[in-house]
Amino acid sequence: MNFSRRNFVRLGVGAALSLREARLLAQGVASHTAKPLPRPAASGRPFNAHFVDVAAAAGLHAPVIYGDPEIKKYIVESTGCGCAFIDYDNDGWMDLFVLCGTRLGGAPVGTTNRLYKNNRDGTFTDVTEKAGLRLLGWACGVCVGDYNNDGFDDIFCTNFGQNVLYRNNGDGTFTDMTKPAGLWSDQQRFGAGCTFLDYNRHGHLDLFVSNYVGFSFENAAVPGENANCRWKGIPVECGPRGLLTGRHSLYRNNGDGTFTDVTQQAGIARAAATYGMTVVAADFDEDGWQDIYVACDSTPSLLFMNNRDGTFREEGVLRGAALSDDGMEQAGMGIGIGDYDLDGHLDLFKTHFADDANILYRNDGKGNFEDATGSSHLGVETRYVCWGAGIVDLDNDGLPDLFMVTGHVYPQVERTLPQYPNKTPRVVFRNLGKGVFEELIQEPGPGVAAAHCSRGCAFGDFDNDGDIDILIINLNEPPSLLRNDLTGKSNWIKVKLDGVKSNRSAIGARVLVHYGGKTQAQAVLSQSSFFSCSDSRLHFGLGNSTLADIDVYWPSGLHETFKQIPANRLITL
């Protein structure tokens, strides 16, 4: 039976939940599987993007410590963390923020989150201490935005333990404002995804935070202790199934540097309990108000639709963005957001566990989603545990491609099942047009083919040469910085938005670029991929087009049009 969204709604949520409950004892992660589809013949088209890992030459030497590299005892060791492109000093060059974890027996000396200043020559300088950002713990997610509208981007980090809000002081330093801002919690949390957004259009950035699981070391089971602590018969860390679900929070910005928890009155608390992961906020139904999507592990993903009165309604199942096409929950990890089919609407790409397909959800422009995984040929790849992802135009041909990073959560499994290695390559699906993709193996270069156990990734142009580079978190190794050495003559344009009536970061803006008879939509985001934040300057490949028209739908509700903008430049609006 084709268990489509409509069939799911007709049968009722209870039917699907009973199916889920029957599988709860099978294993800790979602047990949905999909056989890989046959691979079509290669197109033979050239691919002009070529990625080289320049992290070492750029000065990114510190490893991202995260749990024991050989075996994970608890779920906090395997989740991993994100990263961000952020121009913290407003010099027009993207700096790097790299999160880090710790280890159960104590982390190596010097372990911390790190801020790297862009030296504008292909290298970076570690300015963590000077910036006041040194922190040791189980870091998870990062979102970036100017919450106090002073013109400098601030940072919010989620952690297992206590989340942290850093105010950018505008002089190269940051101040921990968690307690003064009203965001401190006396209870230990497993913070996961986060996003700044302006959900009520008052011109100030509010904050949404997802939580993963309820976990404590004191009460935690050990690998193999029960059915939720095995994978394919092998003892592994327990969870997420068998652990308490996380609850998600919405904080309203009061406009004075403080936040108020409005989770209850906004309707967020009424949603089903889930294992929340990455969060994105964007206007999916194009009504001018930001909605919230939460990728969820082993539970249905959530789509909070904005009621335009300060409240939300959760409609992930109803709108087709919560489950697989056959009505089953999956291990939702990362989220890419973009317009892969050039119809002017924001689509979603969600990554999952090994032996399952990553899902491409096509948006009809009204916030309803259809599973396009099979028709797009993405179902050919099911080998990897996938994490950070993006819908990004890697070769500037005007057709947004798909990129994802991979890496297993159970490093010990490969000793028994070598078909599930811990370190695996990155994945590129080149957009062939007409809604179809082609997986590329060698063409994207050694930076993509290299095997790592990765988690978060962020997309941006660190060298300002007009193409997309990629920052990647590798567990217990230094991060990767993939420089795109693009060849060919394809054109591009970058759009930077500065809010006036809207929040200063313009987070939530929807931008349509029209070129060569095509229309592509993008959104200014505070988080996407996996726990990460990409370059806030929206990058559009234009192919052979030398001019573009731009429509900006600001978070305030204002709509502006800009005509005949020349290619190959950054335009600030």
CA-CA distance, 343 to 363, in Å (whole number)? 9
The whole-number pLDDT of residue 187 equals: 87
Other CB atoms within 10 A of residue 506 CB? 26
Give the torsion through C-alpha atoms of 441, 447, 448, 452, to 10 deg: 120
| Beta carbons of 472 and 480 less than 8 angstroms apart | yes
| Beta carbons of 31 and 297 less than 8 angstroms apart | no
The whole-number pLDDT of residue 31 equals: 63
Q: Is the preceding peptide bond at 63 cis, omega within 30 degrees of 0? A: no
The whole-number pLDDT of residue 326 equals: 87
Task: At 375, give phi and psi (nearest 5°).
Answer: -65, -25
The whole-number pLDDT of residue 217 equals: 94
pLDDT in tens, 30-72: 667 787 778 888 898 999 999 999 999 999 999 999 999 999 9
Query: Which tokens sit at 523?
Result: 């959104």
CATH, domain 5-490+497-572, list 2.130.10.10, 2.70.210.12, 2.120.10.30, 3.40.50.1010? 2.130.10.10
Would residue 12 be called left, alpha or beta, if left means φ above 0 and alpha means ψ between -120 and 50 degrees? left
Query: Which tokens sit at 39?
Result: 């691979």
Is the sign of the CA dihedral 73, 141, 265, 509 positive or negative? negative
pTM over 0.75: yes
CA-CA distance, 133 to 38, in Å (whole number)? 48
CA-CA distance, 344 to 338, in Å (whole number)? 9
Longest Cα separation, the chain = 64
Give the torsion through C-alpha atoms of 241, 244, 246, 247, to 10 deg: 140
CA-CA distance, 257 to 166, in Å (whole number)? 12
Find residue 331's DSSP bridge partners: 297
The whole-number pLDDT of residue 4 equals: 43
Coil, strand or helix at 246: strand
The whole-number pLDDT of residue 124 equals: 99
Give the torsion through C-alpha atoms of 225, 231, 233, 239, to 10 deg: 20
Low-confidence ranges of the chain (pLDDT < 70): 1-31
The whole-number pLDDT of residue 37 equals: 79
| Beta carbons of 4 and 11 less than 8 angstroms apart | no
Strands lying side by side in the sheet with 291-296:
276-282, 291-296, 302-306, 312-314
| Beta carbons of 63 and 476 less than 8 angstroms apart | yes
**Which amino acid, 331?**
A
Q: Domain spans of the chain?
A: 5-490+497-572
DSSP 415: G
Coil, strand or helix at 438: strand
The whole-number pLDDT of residue 10 equals: 37
Nearest to 146 by CA among 501, 533, 504, 531: 504
pLDDT in tens, 372-416: 999 999 988 888 999 999 999 999 999 999 999 999 999 999 999
CA-CA distance, 97 to 547, in Å (whole number)? 34
**Which amino acid, 126?**
D
CA-CA distance, 244 to 168, in Å (whole number)? 35
What DSSP line would sit under 17-74, residue for residue?
HHHHHHHTTT-SS-----PPPPPPPP--------EEE-HHHHT--S-B--S-SS--SS
